[in-house]
Structure 1
Amino acid sequence: MPVTDLYIDEDGYLASRTLDTASIRYDWRRYHARYGKLNEEFTLWLEDCCEHENGEYCSEWIGTWGMYGVFQDAVEEAGGKEVLPLLGHMLPTANGGQYPVEKTEATLVEVEQFIRITRDECARGMACSLQRLLLASLETRNPILWC
């Protein structure tokens, strides 16, 4: 598969134009008959094409949905979206999506401010995880992918 066939899909993952186009064009049986072997080889290649496990430079567990609520409350107590506008909107409200690299530097400033002023240990722990993700995003110039 030539390098020009590779691209980053809308979810931020490495993908193949050939395989994605074929999966839309053909039903599963025809796709599997024509592209099954290539799909299998591509999937195996993705597992170790990068020195980082699963191609992830940095992976952080942020918390449960309950912890998300605690975090949002702590952001409100720290001044809310008026004082921390980026941090207040950083976390997704559902699984999936991404956080743009263009907002990384400014959000990092807000996270560091939040860590200094919040008293809630749960929220502080989540903020420290976000800080590591933001630093990795800044270093690699890639968005943060939520899953």
Structure 2
Amino acid sequence: MQPEILPLEQFLPYRLNRLAEAVSREFAKTYRDRHGLTRPEWRTFATLGQYGSMTATAIGTHSAMHKTKVSRAVAALEERKWLTRTPDPADRRIEHLALTKAGLTAYREMVPLAKAFERELLGKLGAKERDALLGGLHALQSVLSLDPSET
């Protein structure tokens, strides 16, 4: 009797991971070409642009990035003068991070580009396919107790 095999190409976690990686790589061309950002820098930058001030720990939690990647991204954005650090008055070990005026300007430039990328990608699907995809993503997020607004 032959042992059971797992065809990875049909295994949902594998397919979702490959798809997410392909979409992420494709969008990376936009922020890499426009501003020379790495993926962790983009995620940190976009998170701060959306939420304003956050700690590095909160950014890591929100974006599912390891603290060393967040730390490197923060340092790179600070070096560009796109980010400021403000020590927490109650606990000096904590820093509140926020985009500078230059960082906000770059963020405001990137938002329409990101939305256009998403529109173009979803526009390649028919209305039924798009609705099914978005509904399926929402359902999986609910089953896995992920807040859809935080993914």
TM-score calculated relative to the size of structure 2 = 0.25
Structure having greater relative contact order (Cα 8 Å, sep ≥ 6): 1
Q: With structure 1 as the length reference, what TM-score do the two structures score?
A: 0.26
Greater helix content: 2
